[in-house]
Chains A and B, each alone.
Chain A
Amino acid sequence: MLDKVLFYIFAGLAIASAALMVTRRNAVHSAIFLVTALLATAGIFLQLRAEFLFIVQIILYVGGIMVLFIFVIMLVNLDVALQQIQFARQKWVALIVALALSAQFGLMLWSSGKTPGQGIPVLAAPSASELPANSEAVAQSLFGTYLLAFEIASVLLLVAMIGAVVMAKKER
């Protein structure tokens, strides 16, 4: 019961703040609502007993990336930004993408109830003692099963980082 109520609180908060984030005219307000949406998602991770994912979401997205976002937003002159047209003219592309996405969601929801074992897998939440400790489990799969993918991703990030440094240096 408690799980369900908490889930609906977190999910509702995430959706509502995501909608508010898109519709605010003031960029800092948008950023605040994005933080709220990220925190609510972190709460859902915590409910799924993925503590490590929860804290990584908070440290990286909320504590790191969003601070940089706000840092940049504050340097932009907001009064000028308010005068400009906020939305790029991509109505038709956006419409098609949104339709495709909702069709996918609809198909999944529609097919989920049909045959047991197919569609959306419904998992019963295992108790905390049954699961291995979450950070250990994440480490096992990152550095064991998916080691190659992990290394490729980290090399890619390193290249991007060096590229950013080089580009910043050239402009000076």
Chain B
Amino acid sequence: MQAVIQATMEFLKLYWAPLLCGLVIVAVLPLVVGYIVLVERKLMADMQARLGPMRVGPHGLLQPIADAVKLLIKEDIIPDNADKLVFWLAPVLSVGAALLSIAGLAIGPAFQIAKDINIGILFVVGVSAMGIFGIVLGGWASNSHYSLMGSLRSSAQLVSYETAAGMALVSGLLLTGTLNIKAIVEAQSKEGIWFVMLAPVAFFIYLVASIAETNRAPFDLPEAESELVAGYMTEFSGFRWSLYFLAEYTNMIVVSSVATTLFLGGWLRPFADVHLFNFLDYVPPLLMIGVAGYCLSRTPKQPSGVQQIFMLAVASLCFVVALVLVAPVVLPIAKPFYAGIHGGFWFIFKVSAYIYFFMWLRFTIPRYRFDQLMRLGWQFLIPLSIVNVLVVGVALIVSSYFNLHGWAMLLVTTPAAIIALVVALMILAAGQESQAGKENAAASDFYAG
């Protein structure tokens, strides 16, 4: 007994800081996810020429909180024939894996929970892939056909696209030669170029595969509401359902962070080492001041006094953030915090842009059919990603032979990308030819429903 207490004390003494950070993330992330959902609804409304949520708070700004309260006080229903234990375990597994993988990410050079782990990016990818168990077991435990179909589709989809995403990551990692997240970003700062320029095909493959992995439209087959009610989530309600929701959006954040770290230069400012572009340091505070100004201009137009006060509070919050962002650039005292604050800003900015792109795709492209999805994964993305690894490897050997660095590497990697694209077009053409032959023999795909 004493040994256990001693070990616990030792553990707390060694790891109190990461534990505290983890607690903060677990506490803040649901709020962040709530507001991502609000942004998504607002964007969808805007693209469909509607207003979106407007009632709760000014411009619906308090809607996520109202939704959270509603979900928490909803009745918790477990189906009679469900496997109770697994039903209880499944959403927890999903959300646990998603939250755990955040620990490996570096939000700016200063903020990383699991600091400098050797396997960095593999840890994030591997742990977040464990969330699939939550989906599969949840669908099975509900003892309902829609749920089972949803989870079968989901596991098939995830296993297929994991391969393509992994190969895309490999071609990105060839450029860095390390798995450590900090070292990956530092490699990009050393080369002075983001790896999306050097390996555009790999970025494209990762983009598509990451949408499929997070079960987002146009690949949201596991929860296709017109075919499967709500897929694996059909029997879940209230808090359990919201856990699944939290896991899905956290996974979105995780895949965008991985893409940002490996391909989009992580926390680096655009042209980080070029002094000519130092004026870009003023962009973040100006952006926040712009948002604050817009909120101020909207304040008198709010219908009730409470809402005006809330709008004013949002404006002043943005103003405070702008002050924090401008301080390290102007004040010499705050100079040491420059890397942490601005790094954090650029990282979050890039992740938001990536998530925005996800949403944009969702509202633009109609849902794929399941056999189309499988064909895209196995017959197009996986061969392309394997070819791309080969081509990037050859390009790297050539560029090291001629001792090329930074932007000069584009001389070699651009032809490599073009070769990969030509191969991709050949694969597509071959696929269409073989498809034309099969069209008559109607495929009776079991999962296609």
By a beta-carbon cutoff of 8 Å, the part of chain A in contact with chain B is 1-2, 4-6, 26, 28-29, 32, 35, 51-52, 54-55, 58-59, 62-64, 66-68, 70-71, 74-75, 133-135
What chain B residues lie within 8 Å of A71 (beta carbons)? 136, 152, 155-156, 159
Contact of A64 among B7, B10, B162 (CB under 8 A): B162
Docked pose: A10 CA to B307 CA in angstroms = 53
What chain A residues lie within 8 Å of B127 (beta carbons)? 58
By a beta-carbon cutoff of 8 Å, the part of chain B in contact with chain A is 3-4, 6-7, 10-11, 14, 83, 86, 89, 117-119, 122-123, 125-127, 129-130, 132-133, 136-137, 140, 148, 151-152, 155-156, 158-159, 162, 179
Known contacts A5-B4, A71-B156; A28/B130 CB under 8 A:
no
What chain A residues lie within 8 Å of B132 (beta carbons)? 63, 67
Can you list 18 pairs linking A and B with CB atoms under 8 Å apart? Answer: A1-B10, A2-B10, A2-B14, A4-B7, A5-B3, A5-B4, A28-B140, A32-B89, A51-B118, A51-B119, A58-B130, A59-B125, A63-B129, A64-B159, A70-B136, A74-B140, A74-B148, A75-B152
What chain A residues lie within 8 Å of B133 (beta carbons)? 35, 66-67, 70
Docked pose: A113 CA to B329 CA in angstroms = 65
What chain A residues lie within 8 Å of B86 (beta carbons)? 28-29, 32
Q: What residue of chain B has the Cβ atom nearest to residue A134's Cβ?
A: B118
Docked pose: A151 CA to B11 CA in angstroms = 43
Contact of A67 among B6, B136, B179 (CB under 8 A): B136
Docked pose: A90 CA to B203 CA in angstroms = 53
A59 & B122 in contact (Cβ 8 Å cutoff)? yes
What chain B residues lie within 8 Å of A54 (beta carbons)? 119
Question: Smallest CB–CB gap between B139 and chain A, Å?
Answer: 8
Docked pose: A67 CA to B213 CA in angstroms = 14
Docked pose: A32 CA to B83 CA in angstroms = 13
Docked pose: A59 CA to B118 CA in angstroms = 16
What chain A residues lie within 8 Å of B159 (beta carbons)? 64, 67-68, 71
Q: A63-B130, A67-B158, A71-B156 are in contact. List 17 more A-B contacts (CB 8 A).
A: A1-B7, A2-B10, A51-B118, A52-B122, A55-B123, A58-B127, A58-B130, A59-B129, A62-B130, A63-B129, A66-B133, A67-B132, A74-B136, A135-B118, A135-B119, A135-B122, A135-B179
What chain A residues lie within 8 Å of B118 (beta carbons)? 51-52, 133-135
B119 & A55 in contact (Cβ 8 Å cutoff)? yes
Docked pose: A62 CA to B128 CA in angstroms = 11
